[in-house]
Amino acid sequence: MERRSERGKGQLEAVERREQALSLPIVAGTCGWGRPFQLYPDHLRVHGTVYELRHLTQIRPIYRSLLGIASARLELTFGQQRVLLRGIASAEDVRKMVDYLLRACPQARLMPAAGNESDTVESETDETGSGERVAPTSERETPTALMRALAPAGWQMVHRELLQRRRARLREERERRQEAALSQQSGRRSVLKDPLPAVQVPVRLALGERAYYCCQATLCNEQLRPFAPPEEAIRDHGLLILTDRRLIYLGRRCQILLGYDHLLQVSRQRNGVAFLADHWRRRELFTMRRPLECVLCLEKLLWRFQQERQLSRLMHIELEEQSEGVSPPSQDGRQREYRGGSQPLTPLEE
């Protein structure tokens, strides 16, 4: 009985030691911004998330040295899930993890690092005959690699955004100079009489109708809140077409047809043009790349539309007088009044 009790105690102690060994992590450390990770015999715990080692398929360690400070990164693939442990200060911990994972997970493959960093996957260091250590090629600090490491992750996006802002600012300055030059011109009526070339549009127009302007435009709501994001105001994206009779907007969600005889007001905004009609409750704002060009073309079309409308009225009056056979005494004054008006139908506001 005593032998059996001693044997049972030995088995219990062995089980306790085994459980204690399983409860202790093999490697423990931090990665990134203080995120803890622990490697246990059967699983990996990263910031509270558990990954089973039996699902491990790929291992990719990367060792780096920046300004004399060594660091490492470990990429692990668990099935379809990829786990990235970056910014590990102790490269020795990464080597221990890789050695254990290769022994405990025979199904996992050791993947080489991208570029020249494949030389640093192996933990051995080259030694010369005199015993001096030779640093691998990837650990040597080159100016290009140093600048790439010091640069933020989204520096290309920031550079692209700054370039777009600079181009927009230069375009606004150019349009402002063009507007100032046009306002100083004395022969404004001669500019309005200049012919406009017709353009091809992807829509079937009415008989005798021609399109003279076409551009990509975004239909927006006027922002009522001062600090509202611009994405809230966007309603539709489409094509803005100006013909000699009407305005046409072909959007993805809606289409707008507006005749020039129903147009009340046109005002140019900073990055677009706002239109107000007699049957609309509010103005419709169209943002585009060159709003000044759109306003100038619309002014010519409105001036031409007004001239044709006045001419049709005069012809209608003459036909009525010929049919009646009586000429009213105020005919000359009325013709002089119609011929004297040459301003556009709608006021163009800034």
- Region 105-122: mean pLDDT is 64
pLDDT at 304 over 80: yes
Report the pLDDT value the prediction gives residue 200, as an integer from 0 to 100. 92
The residue among 199, 222, 232, 344 whose CA lies nearest residue 272 is 222
> Of 242, 253, 252, which Cα lies nearest the Cα of 303?
242
CB burial string 109-125: b at 16+ within 10 A, e below: eeeebeeebeebbeeee
pLDDT over threshold 70, residue 36: yes
Entry pTM? 0.44
Does position 105 have pLDDT exceeding 50, yes or no?
yes
User: Are 219 and 206 contacting, i.e. CB atoms less than 8 angstroms apart?
Assistant: no
Which class does domain 202-349 fall in? Answer: mainly beta
Distance CA 81, CA 9 (A): 44
pLDDT category of residue 145 using cuts at 50, 70 and 90: low
Q: What percent of the chain has pLDDT over 90?
A: 20
Mean pLDDT of the 63-79 span: 83
pLDDT greater at residue 194 or residue 158: 158
Architecture of domain 20-121: Roll (2.30)
What is the C-alpha to C-alpha distance for residues 118 and 132, in angstroms, rounded to an integer?
A: 22
Rounded mean pLDDT, 247-269: 92
The structural domains of the chain, with segments of one domain joined by +, span 20-121, 202-349
pLDDT of residue 104: 87
Which residue do the tokens 């289409």 mark? 255
Evaluate whether 20-121 and 202-349 have a shared fold.
yes
Average pLDDT over residues 98-125: 67
Is a pLDDT exceeding 50 seen at residue 128? no
Q: What confidence score (pLDDT) does residue 338 get? A: 43
Q: Which residues contact 256 (CB under 8 A, 6 or more apart)?
A: 219, 247, 248, 249, 284
**Residue labelled with tokens 């990770």:** 37
Query: Is it the case that residue 303 has pLDDT exceeding 80?
Result: yes
Average pLDDT value for the chain: 76
pLDDT value of residue 302? 92
Average pLDDT over residues 346-350: 55
pLDDT band per the 50, 70, 90 thresholds, residue 118? very low
pLDDT reported for residue 18: 58
pLDDT at 5: 59
- Top pLDDT among 146 and 165 is at 165
Within the chain, residue ranges assigned H as helices are 2-23, 91-104, 143-150, 155-183, 188-193, 291-324, 331-340
Smallest Cα–Cα separation from 350: which of 264, 274, 285, 278?
274
Q: What value does the mean pLDDT take over residues 182-203?
A: 71
d(CA 74, CA 88) in angstroms, rounded, equals 8
